[in-house]
Copies of this chain bind each other. A is one copy, B any other.
């Protein structure tokens, strides 16, 4: 089974999930200028989730680049994975609207569970494909394959930690989600340039 339509379907869901985030932004009442400044948690949540989806898309891109083909099991895990990608706009909205209210903890935990599960499923996807080089291209270097496997383990650990932080402080948890995104952006900015 060729992989190009899987990429098209996945790219579609990544792109729509990211774009749908904008529907979470809304103002009501006036004066408009004050309202627009007051919804800063909405901008922050939009930026963090958009960049997070962008980073996961970049990594999905790299996984697919190592594969020769896919099978039905891979397709099915990919559907479950995309189900959590498409879910991200919902906890993003919760976090944006409740960051400064008593619902902050529930929102931060929901956000964290979503991202942790996404990261776990991404690891399942990669490990299934890479186990015994099941779906890999013949020319995929084993060193690169092992390196990808190790670096992807970081995701679930970081997101689970940030979720647990929400039990103590929702604001600290939200800051941790922001920091994880910033970490990945900076990692790419510094290490991702062509020399």
Residue of B1, B57, B76, B188 near A189 (CB, 8 A) is B76
- Assembled-state Cα–Cα distance A17/B15 (Å): 10
**Total A residues in contact with B, Cβ cutoff 8 Å:** 69
Residue A150 at the chain B interface, CB threshold 8 Å = no
Residue of B8, B55, B90, B188 near A73 (CB, 8 A) is B188
Residue of B8, B25, B51, B71 near A194 (CB, 8 A) is B71
Q: List the B side residues contacting A158 at CB < 8 Å.
A: none
The count of identical subunits is: 4
Residue A142 at the chain B interface, CB threshold 8 Å = no
A and B contact pairs by CB, cutoff 8 A, 16 listed: A1-B62, A2-B65, A5-B11, A7-B8, A8-B15, A9-B14, A9-B15, A12-B19, A16-B20, A20-B23, A22-B87, A50-B83, A50-B86, A51-B80, A54-B75, A75-B188
Residue A82 at the chain B interface, CB threshold 8 Å = yes
Q: List the B side residues contacting A7 at CB < 8 Å.
A: 5, 8
CB–CB A20/B18 < 8 A: no
